[in-house]
Amino acid sequence: MITMIKRKYILERLAAGPVVGDGSMMFTLEKRGYVSYEKWIPYAVLKFPDAVLQLHREFVRAGADVIQTASFYSTDDRLNLPGKDCNFTCKEINDAACKLARKAADENNCLVCGGISPTPSFELGKDEKVVAEEYAKQLRCYEENDVDFVMCELFDNIREVEICAKEMKKLNKPVAVSMTLGLMGDAEGVAVEECAVRMAKTGADIIGINCTFDPNTSLKVMSRIKSAIADLDPKPYLLCQPVGFLCPEVENNRLGYLTLPEYPLALDPRTLTRSDAHDFGRQAFELGINYIGGCCGFEPYHIRSIAQELQEERGIIPPVNDMAQPYGGSFFQQSIISSIEGGGRQTKEYWQNVNLGSGRPFNPPLAKPVDRKIDYTRT
Amino acid sequence: MITMIKRKYILERLAAGPVVGDGSMMFTLEKRGYVSYEKWIPYAVLKFPDAVLQLHREFVRAGADVIQTASFYSTDDRLNLPGKDCNFTCKEINDAACKLARKAADENNCLVCGGISPTPSFELGKDEKVVAEEYAKQLRCYEENDVDFVMCELFDNIREVEICAKEMKKLNKPVAVSMTLGLMGDAEGVAVEECAVRMAKTGADIIGINCTFDPNTSLKVMSRIKSAIADLDPKPYLLCQPVGFLCPEVENNRLGYLTLPEYPLALDPRTLTRSDAHDFGRQAFELGINYIGGCCGFEPYHIRSIAQELQEERGIIPPVNDMAQPYGGSFFQQSIISSIEGGGRQTKEYWQNVNLGSGRPFNPPLAKPVDRKIDYTRT
Amino acid sequence: MITMIKRKYILERLAAGPVVGDGSMMFTLEKRGYVSYEKWIPYAVLKFPDAVLQLHREFVRAGADVIQTASFYSTDDRLNLPGKDCNFTCKEINDAACKLARKAADENNCLVCGGISPTPSFELGKDEKVVAEEYAKQLRCYEENDVDFVMCELFDNIREVEICAKEMKKLNKPVAVSMTLGLMGDAEGVAVEECAVRMAKTGADIIGINCTFDPNTSLKVMSRIKSAIADLDPKPYLLCQPVGFLCPEVENNRLGYLTLPEYPLALDPRTLTRSDAHDFGRQAFELGINYIGGCCGFEPYHIRSIAQELQEERGIIPPVNDMAQPYGGSFFQQSIISSIEGGGRQTKEYWQNVNLGSGRPFNPPLAKPVDRKIDYTRT
Amino acid sequence: MITMIKRKYILERLAAGPVVGDGSMMFTLEKRGYVSYEKWIPYAVLKFPDAVLQLHREFVRAGADVIQTASFYSTDDRLNLPGKDCNFTCKEINDAACKLARKAADENNCLVCGGISPTPSFELGKDEKVVAEEYAKQLRCYEENDVDFVMCELFDNIREVEICAKEMKKLNKPVAVSMTLGLMGDAEGVAVEECAVRMAKTGADIIGINCTFDPNTSLKVMSRIKSAIADLDPKPYLLCQPVGFLCPEVENNRLGYLTLPEYPLALDPRTLTRSDAHDFGRQAFELGINYIGGCCGFEPYHIRSIAQELQEERGIIPPVNDMAQPYGGSFFQQSIISSIEGGGRQTKEYWQNVNLGSGRPFNPPLAKPVDRKIDYTRT
């Protein structure tokens, strides 16, 4: 009974108002020392559970509604690829990930979302049954751990989405499908609009995009997705979880920020500010996005800014407001900072309009993307 | 006996080669949701000890030799200032801070440093005895908790350093004094060179600077400090812990990055990359700095980069190397990333020379600092 | 007989290879002190003929094939607008302009092109006959002065082009029509492709675009024009004369660089370098543009760079090569400049790849265009 | 008698208020096609006299008080260097230069200044008599042509200034000496302050700096020169004629803008705007500079801006004001430009504060200067 209620919980929240997702697990854990760049396997759920739990908790404090399991790329076929050096199985990782996500989520009545990643089996052209089985294995684990809903993420091929969604729909849980899409469409050149319709037609409750493109590019794509499905009935909810790095120069490049010369070790100067995150939250909401979160590079303070931006619309005060209010809020009004010459630092307007320096006058603001494809399905 | 050994441990390490400090506690905990901007009081040691412990552990994993207690600004006179809204005493905070630092430090044989902050009593012109007593209270707590050495930090007035150092020397522990100094000297205009000599003459074992200026400016100041004390005998060890944000435009401004229009909510685009941190570590070492760490903005991955840069000189492999090697290291050599067009991402040279975009072509790289003083001793 | 030959001369040149146009008369004379910003009337042909002649000569020396008459905006209906303060008639100005252009052109066997500007009568919705008569008056003057061909320029409405071209075709001279078009099409939203086809169908010998957009945007538009008329037979020659200021941020703004906050007094940092002009010449040629020149901001040294870039294809050495060779050429090879550290300044590669500073680290590289229309048909 | 009056004329003007110099002859003629980069010899006075005369006239129209002879680098010893390829003698060039300067100057009651350049004989260490004779030859020509005063320019060695000034003083004409000095002092490391005092002690009526550094750096140097001679009595007048390209990154590099990677072919994005020139004029006046003009890169519209900025102080309306008023002036107030959204383009404030884009988001604002010396005394 109680499970039944939980299973619908995400849809109830979406029906009631904007839902705030969580942010980057893999990138953030990498900076903290618990994930390897370019391996992107969350062994940490088994080897450093405290570190994973702590990060989950920070997203809970930030005001997220949903905690996604730290189970990225953990399909058995990928774990066995050369270079991954992994002695754990998908089941071991995902079980541990579910428990940590649930523990944190329960601290503030949040939901747990079981995440599903694309599989090398699809990329290598294996039989659809083989591909489907990779998803089924993950899903069985999520069923056993009774996550609140499931989401496939970072799929860049609409055909693979369709295979995966078929498996997801077999569970009696809400289903979200999320692709990585820039203005150029999917890996095979299927246009954004067609991807949108086909995602919707899988029967998913939520469709959208995540990763690889920045908030501005992602909102352009979401606007096209929204238009493409305008006449469908029923319509799925919309989701958007972009990267936390500004990269306007790659919006027409299918591989997005992966083609920046700074990827992956030197993206820091592109980091969103809090104001950028506020703006993204506001604009996403106004565009009609129902599920607003972040992917790589979205740290807890970015998710906090989204949750604070929408606290009136959601009727939810993020727990972190005891320490940090929107744009400084009343803390800044009482502080010496409000008296700085030129003034206004205690206001939203100041932070929305402040000129941001990079401190790097010998560097250009934009970088020339590399031309060639990165085969990011490997290693 | 064993205490005696521990008390000298920092000096033994300094005599043997470069010591790596830890990074930012307050700024990093703020981003995670456990500290308030502009209050800068670490209530978290009592209210969110797991979060503090986790961050300490990340610096340990990163390869730091020293864990500083999370006890910033926690003098009783400051805790009682209007706007701080603090119900805890200095003793309560510092006790808890010592225990958390020790727990993390012991996980990899690191040292604990008890940190001492400037007091409002000095700023308000109170009697020297009153000022000294504020330091004495903190020091008694560090003695009870048997920290390995003590350090006063962020002092911008050499007269206050002298008062504090006198108290610090009463303990039977190594003493470090660190000022915040840009090219213009201290708060009363005392030149860098005179500050250097007077710091040395306090009898401190270690002298140096921290906070407020970026690595490049800080190394210019350290070079002048080194020259100023070249003829002293004995000479103290040298320490440098700058902020992790590039801000070349404020090097002649006594209040440094506090005068940037982006302070404190929008400094993100100025964040150091790993390569910047490597370069800082290398340059500091070559200049003869013995104790190399970071202040506000230095996240665990920045400290990691310093420790990795100097791993041969120190003969110490940072624990985090199981997850992240210098400049990608062997992980990148085996990875698909090594085959990206243009090439070279598996090499140090690539990351030292890559052009870094900010992704913000509508923003300038430098900001006009505000003219007026920020009274940062308050609130 | 001889007139007949001259009248076809531009078409013969175009058939033989790339033709180089001249550059900016009005902007350049303004900088020299002989034209008023925002009046844009070339009184100078009557009041300062030496200054106009000198500038024509510089374009001749630079290697231009064509000298356009300094007759911009000199239709009687515009000369009588309030704010123009002009006591001269269209006929007086255009007569003088023809004589100066011819004098300079004859010094190196160049051609004279009579230029025709859009009229306020069209903008004000006057009867087509009234509009046509404004063109007819200009054309009679060009006939009397026996210019080599005529060109209407800066037309932003394809309907007006059609009215004008009808008059132009009545002369027994080659006809060029040039619009100002960005990616968004003409003033009434007619798409680039439709404008292209309709320009071609006027029977003009040459069609193309000029002014308002930079070389990069203009080449994108020309590429679409080329595709749009690919199946026409006969096909007109293609012309491109962009502004000499980089302004990528306005390519989707119909009013182009007029919407930049720096217009008109502070465009200097956007000035093309010689390498930019070389690149434009090369790319235009490779795209199949037959007539390559410049508009506002193209100084003699920019036209020189185009002529030098294409000197082999044209079989013409620009007269100015006695003083300035492409990318420094043999002069630099013999000069001390070839020995500067880092080297290579005597090579084309160096200048094509050199990083260009603005010297303005407190300014952003891009500007936010203003939203509102500028009614540039007035004053 | 009449000569006597003329000889004192510059000093009378300086006594009465700020004097405006002219701008760049060589750089500007190069862009127009009449001078070779890196040869820098004004053959044009003999081969293209109309072009030289025209440029002089533009400076006269702009409001300059003084027209300098186009006689740069035309000492016989330099004309005979390999690579200069010059068949003319110093006397031939300078005679022609004097006549052209006088013709233009007389059109608006301006003065003629005979310019003297450093000689290779000094650089090659020849006997002082040999060096002095190179100056004497130039000076005899200026005496015969009765210029109003003489100025040695671009000297980077105070010893050579002293040799030259001794010869200049033999004429019965006012004498100006101008060095090229950045913050690092002269070619042999003599500090700015010592250079200032020694320039003054030559008995020159006017001392100052020109070329190689931008207005901001040059004003810093002039401020030090002013302080250095504050106690001398009598004191010479002060002169400043910087380059018209912003290059803050080379202020501590003795060779200034010659060390930029963009020198000489790609300096365009660094060009001063009119507002920059206004600001320079105002700041120079407020610092107490008496003679304010420009060197390489100062085009007529830059000199115009200085003359317009100081038109009240000088009581002189520049002739060009019939075509171009300060910051647009009344022309803009009547124009459609005054109605552009956001507004204010008809005001000085707008143009002083407008953000200037470079249009180059893939380029950094500053360039790394090359390290090595350029031997600019050769070729």
Residue C49 tokens read as 């003929």
Which candidate in C353, C358, C366 is best for mutational testing of the B interface (most B CBs within 10 A)?
C366
pLDDT per residue as tens digits for the range A343-368: 788 899 999 999 889 999 999 999 88
Q: Do A365 and C361 touch (CB under 8 A)?
A: no
CB burial class (10 A; 0-12, 13-18, 19+) of residue A91?
middle
Radius of gyration from C-alpha coordinates of chain C? 20
Total residues belonging to chain A: 379
Q: Do C364 and A361 touch (CB under 8 A)?
A: no
Q: Which residue has the higher pLDDT, B4 or A117?
A: A117
Element housing B292 (H / E): strand B291-292
Q: Any chain D CB within 8 A of the CB of C36?
A: yes
Least confident of A290-304, B233-247, B357-371, C96-110: B357-371
Q: Is the peptide bond before A242 cis (omega within 30 degrees of 0)?
A: no
Q: Do A364 and C364 touch (CB under 8 A)?
A: no
On whether residue D365 sits in a domain, the answer given is no
Query: In this predicted structure, what is the pLDDT of residue A262?
Result: 93
Q: Any chain C CB within 8 A of the CB of D309?
A: no
Query: In this predicted structure, what is the pLDDT of residue A372?
Result: 52
Cβ proximity of D56 and D67 under 8 Å: yes
Same domain assignment for residues A276 and A346? no
CB atoms closer than 10 angstroms to residue C374: 16
Query: In this predicted structure, what is the pLDDT of residue C376?
Result: 47
Q: For residue D31, list chain C residues with Cβ-Cβ distance below 8 A.
A: 299-301
On whether residue B364 sits in a domain, the answer given is no
> What CATH number does the domain containing D309 carry?
3.20.20.330
Tell me the mean pLDDT in the region A262-288. Answer: 97
Residue percentage of chain D with pLDDT more than 90: 82
Q: Residue D122, SS3?
A: helix
Distance from the A65 Cα atom to the nearest Cα atom in chain C, whole angstroms:
36
- Chains in contact with D via at least 3 Cβ–Cβ pairs below 8 Å: A, B, C
CB burial class (10 A; 0-12, 13-18, 19+) of residue B2?
exposed
Q: Is the peptide bond before D264 cis (omega within 30 degrees of 0)?
A: yes
Search chain B and give the residue with CA nearest A348. B265
On whether residue D368 sits in a domain, the answer given is no
Q: For residue D376, list chain C residues with Cβ-Cβ distance below 8 A.
A: 336
Query: In this predicted structure, what is the pLDDT of residue D345?
Result: 87
Search chain A and give the residue with CA nearest D248. A361
Distance from the D362 Cα atom to the nearest Cα atom in chain B, whole angstroms:
8
How high does pLDDT run on average in chain C?
A: 92
For chain D, the first-to-last Cα distance in angstroms comes to 42
- The domain in which residue A319 lies consists of 2-324
Q: Any chain B CB within 8 A of the CB of C269?
A: no
The neighbouring-strand residues paired with D150 are D114, D175
**Can you tell me which residue has the tokens 């007091």?**
B119
Tell which residue, B152, B125, B40, B141, has the closest CA to residue B90.
B141
Same domain assignment for residues A225 and A351? no
Q: Do B361 and C362 touch (CB under 8 A)?
A: no
Query: In this predicted structure, what is the pLDDT of residue C274?
Result: 97
CA distances from B313 to A159, B351, D3 (A): 53, 21, 78
The neighbouring-strand residues paired with A241 are A210
On whether residue D48 sits in a domain, the answer given is yes
Query: In this predicted structure, what is the pLDDT of residue C7?
Result: 40
Same domain assignment for residues A320 and A351? no
Q: For residue C32, list chain D residues with Cβ-Cβ distance below 8 A.
A: 58, 300-301
Cβ proximity of C249 and C213 under 8 Å: no
Element housing B20 (H / E): strand B19-20
Search chain B and give the residue with CA nearest D355. B364
ipTM of the prediction: 0.95
**In chain D, residues 136-195 whose CB comes closer than 8 Å to chain C:** none
Search chain B and give the residue with CA nearest D360. B361
Element housing B198 (H / E): helix B192-201
On whether residue C365 sits in a domain, the answer given is no
Q: Do A361 and C361 touch (CB under 8 A)?
A: yes
Cβ proximity of C323 and D35 under 8 Å: yes
- Chains in contact with C via at least 3 Cβ–Cβ pairs below 8 Å: A, B, D
The neighbouring-strand residues paired with A179 are A155, A209
Q: Which residue has the higher pLDDT, D52 or D3?
A: D52
pLDDT, averaged per 10 consecutive residues of chain B (379 residues), comes to 52 96 98 92 95 98 98 91 83 97 96 96 94 96 97 97 98 97 94 98 98 97 98 96 96 92 94 97 98 98 98 96 91 79 85 90 88 52
Same domain assignment for residues B344 and B303? no
On whether residue C358 sits in a domain, the answer given is no
Alpha-carbon gap, residue D249 to D216, rounded angstroms? 11
On whether residue C219 sits in a domain, the answer given is yes
Q: Do D361 and B361 touch (CB under 8 A)?
A: yes
CB burial class (10 A; 0-12, 13-18, 19+) of residue D109?
exposed
Query: In this predicted structure, what is the pLDDT of residue D373?
Result: 58
Same domain assignment for residues A225 and A273? yes
Q: Do C300 and D32 touch (CB under 8 A)?
A: yes
Q: Do A261 and B342 touch (CB under 8 A)?
A: yes
**Can you tell me which residue has the tokens 């456990």?**
B34
What number of CA atoms fall less than 13 Å from residue A27's CA on the CB side?
22
Q: Do C340 and D372 touch (CB under 8 A)?
A: yes
Q: For residue D367, list chain A residues with Cβ-Cβ distance below 8 A.
A: 362
**In chain C, residues 333-372 whose CB comes closer than 8 Å to chain A:** 355, 361, 364-365
Give me the residue from C272, C323, C327 closest to D34, CB to CB: C323
Distance from the B298 Cα atom to the nearest Cα atom in chain C, whole angstroms:
25
Q: Do B365 and A354 touch (CB under 8 A)?
A: no
Q: Any chain C CB within 8 A of the CB of D315?
A: no
Residues B83, B88, B92, B96, CA torsion sign: negative
Q: Which residue has the higher pLDDT, C332 or B246?
A: B246
CB burial class (10 A; 0-12, 13-18, 19+) of residue B175?
buried
Cβ proximity of D141 and D94 under 8 Å: yes
Query: In this predicted structure, what is the pLDDT of residue A86?
Result: 78
Written as one letter, the residue type at D331 is F
Give me the residue from B249, B360, B364 closest to C363, CB to CB: B364
Same domain assignment for residues B264 and B281? yes
Q: For residue B375, list chain A residues with Cβ-Cβ distance below 8 A.
A: 336, 339
Distance from the C222 Cα atom to the nearest Cα atom in chain A, whole angstroms:
21
Give me the residue from D360, D362, D368 closest to A362, CB to CB: D368
Which candidate in A251, A358, A366 is best for mutational testing of the D interface (most D CBs within 10 A)?
A366
Residue C226 has pLDDT above 90, yes or no: yes
Q: Do D362 and A366 touch (CB under 8 A)?
A: yes
Residue D88 tokens read as 């003319």
**Can you tell me which residue has the tokens 């350290």?**
B222
pLDDT per residue as tens digits for the range C241-262: 999 999 999 999 999 999 999 9
Search chain C and give the residue with CA nearest B364. C364
Query: In this predicted structure, what is the pLDDT of residue D335?
Result: 78
pLDDT per residue as tens digits for the range A309-324: 999 999 999 999 999 9
Q: Is the peptide bond before D234 cis (omega within 30 degrees of 0)?
A: yes
On whether residue B370 sits in a domain, the answer given is no
Q: Do B33 and A324 touch (CB under 8 A)?
A: yes
Same domain assignment for residues A278 and A340? no
Query: In this predicted structure, what is the pLDDT of residue A220?
Result: 97
Q: Any chain D CB within 8 A of the CB of C32?
A: yes
Q: For residue C108, list chain D residues with Cβ-Cβ distance below 8 A.
A: none
Residue C2 has pLDDT above 60, yes or no: no
Q: Do C361 and B361 touch (CB under 8 A)?
A: no
Q: Do A362 and D366 touch (CB under 8 A)?
A: yes
Residue B45 tokens read as 């040691």
List the beta strands (DSSP E) in A180-321. 206-210, 237-241, 291-292
Same domain assignment for residues B238 and B341? no
Alpha-carbon gap, residue B322 to C12, rounded angstroms? 73
Distance from the D71 Cα atom to the nearest Cα atom in chain B, whole angstroms:
41
Between chain A and chain B, the number of residue pairs with CB atoms below 8 A apart is: 256
CB atoms closer than 10 angstroms to residue B16: 10
Q: Do C365 and A361 touch (CB under 8 A)?
A: no
Distance from the D247 Cα atom to the nearest Cα atom in chain C, whole angstroms:
5
For chain C, the first-to-last Cα distance in angstroms comes to 43
Overall domain count for chain C: 1
Cβ proximity of A364 and D363 under 8 Å: yes
**In chain A, residues 201-220 whose CB comes closer than 8 Å to chain D:** none
Same domain assignment for residues B273 and B347? no
For chain A, the first-to-last Cα distance in angstroms comes to 42
Written as one letter, the residue type at D254 is R
Residue D2 has pLDDT above 50, yes or no: no
- What torsion do the CA atoms of C245, C249, C251, C256 make, to the nearest 10 degrees? -60
Distance from the D178 Cα atom to the nearest Cα atom in chain C, whole angstroms:
25
A270-297 exposure pattern, b = at least 16 Cβ within 10 A, e = fewer:
bbbbbbbbbbbbebbbebebbbbbbbbb
Q: For residue D365, list chain A residues with Cβ-Cβ distance below 8 A.
A: 361
pLDDT per residue as tens digits for the range C145-162: 999 999 999 999 999 999
Residue C273 tokens read as 């370098």
How sure is the predictor about A373, in pLDDT bands with cuts at 50, 70 and 90? low
Helices and strands, number each (H, E), in chain B = 16, 8
- What torsion do the CA atoms of B100, B105, B108, B110 make, to the nearest 10 degrees? 180
Same domain assignment for residues A338 and A189? no
Which candidate in C22, C26, C35, C38 is best for mutational testing of the D interface (most D CBs within 10 A)?
C38
How sure is the predictor about C86, in pLDDT bands with cuts at 50, 70 and 90? confident
Chain centre distance of CA A186: 18
Same domain assignment for residues A161 and A16? yes
Residue D203 has pLDDT above 70, yes or no: yes
